[in-house]
Amino acid sequence: MGIDEPGWELYRSFLAVMREGSLSAAARALGMTQPSLGRHIRQLEVALGVALFTRSPQGLTPTDLGHELVAHAQAMSAASAALRRAASGSNHEVRGVVRVTCSEVIGAEVLPPMLADFRQQHPGIVIELSLSNQTEDLLRKDADIAVRMLRPAQGALVARRIGRIPVGLHAHRGYLKAHGQPRTLADLSQHALIGFDHETPALRAIRSKLPFDREDFALRSDSDLAQLAAIRASYGIGVCQCAIARRDRRLVHLLPEAFAFDLDTWLVMHEDLKASRRTRLLFDYLARALGTYAVA
């Protein structure tokens, strides 16, 4: 007898297999046994009346329909997480969970001391910090608050412009001692440059401001934290936020007049969360704290 309405736990198991790539890895991620997870997948297929995977000695391979269902399962996952956050405290209480999404560098280098200070003021609020250079969907409730480097185009969002974050070329003094300091942009061709591997929408937005492309880089990484670590390790010359570089006297700002651009920074949340006191408290706090980090 099939299942008329598959429960969320079946979709969660399906999504875990799609994310992890195998039953065994998904079972470990969910803290389940592999046979139990396998039963979930079979139950979901019976309930939906479709095959989500093909079976072979090598394991499970998603069908085309399985791939199509991922986005829907992700939406269910986001809704489930948003429901749990909403249930973690009433709209009028200063407790509960707030999920913040931001870029790697903002999340690892900029927000931690701000969030630590906020924690001292509001110890009842639990913060989930999601670091990703991909833009999470606030309309789908993937997160409650987002720090974004592009002006949000979606409706139904509360957006506050924070200011500009200056970005420039930097290198470690150890690298410059060994290889010399470029005096012009043309000199960069003689240096080890650190940059991206794949272009993202954010990179395309500033593409015209970059005097180099992928083929010019001696180290390529899509992780901004990896690029920053490479600059600090004297690998070469790379782009980073000027305020971060100023914290370390070993980092030198290069060619500031020839190469510079600003990241227009916005703080965003879904308009439905304006009534949530904990979300509003964190939103207003981050607006003030990031405002002291950015340039008006």
Per-residue pLDDT of the chain (296 residues; tens, 9 = 90+): 444 577 888 888 888 888 888 888 888 888 888 888 889 988 888 888 888 888 888 778 889 888 888 888 877 777 776 666 666 665 566 788 999 999 999 999 999 999 999 999 999 999 999 998 776 555 566 788 999 988 877 667 889 999 999 999 999 999 999 999 999 999 999 999 999 998 776 666 666 667 778 899 999 999 999 999 999 999 999 999 999 999 999 999 999 999 988 999 999 988 888 888 899 999 999 999 999 999 87
Question: What is the DSSP secondary-structure string of 260-294?
Answer: -EEEEEEEEEEGGGGG-HHHHHHHHHHHHHHHHHS
Closest listed residue to residue 129, CA positions, set 153, 140, 151, 113: 113
Q: Is 198:224 a contact under the CB 8 Å cutoff?
A: no
Task: Report the predicted TM-score, pTM, of the whole model to 2 decimal places.
Answer: 0.69
Residue 2 has what pLDDT? 44
* Burial category of 165 from C-beta neighbours within 10 Å (exposed 0-12, middle 13-18, buried 19 and up): buried
Residue 26 has what pLDDT? 87
Q: Is the dihedral of CA 210, 216, 222, 225 positive or negative?
A: negative
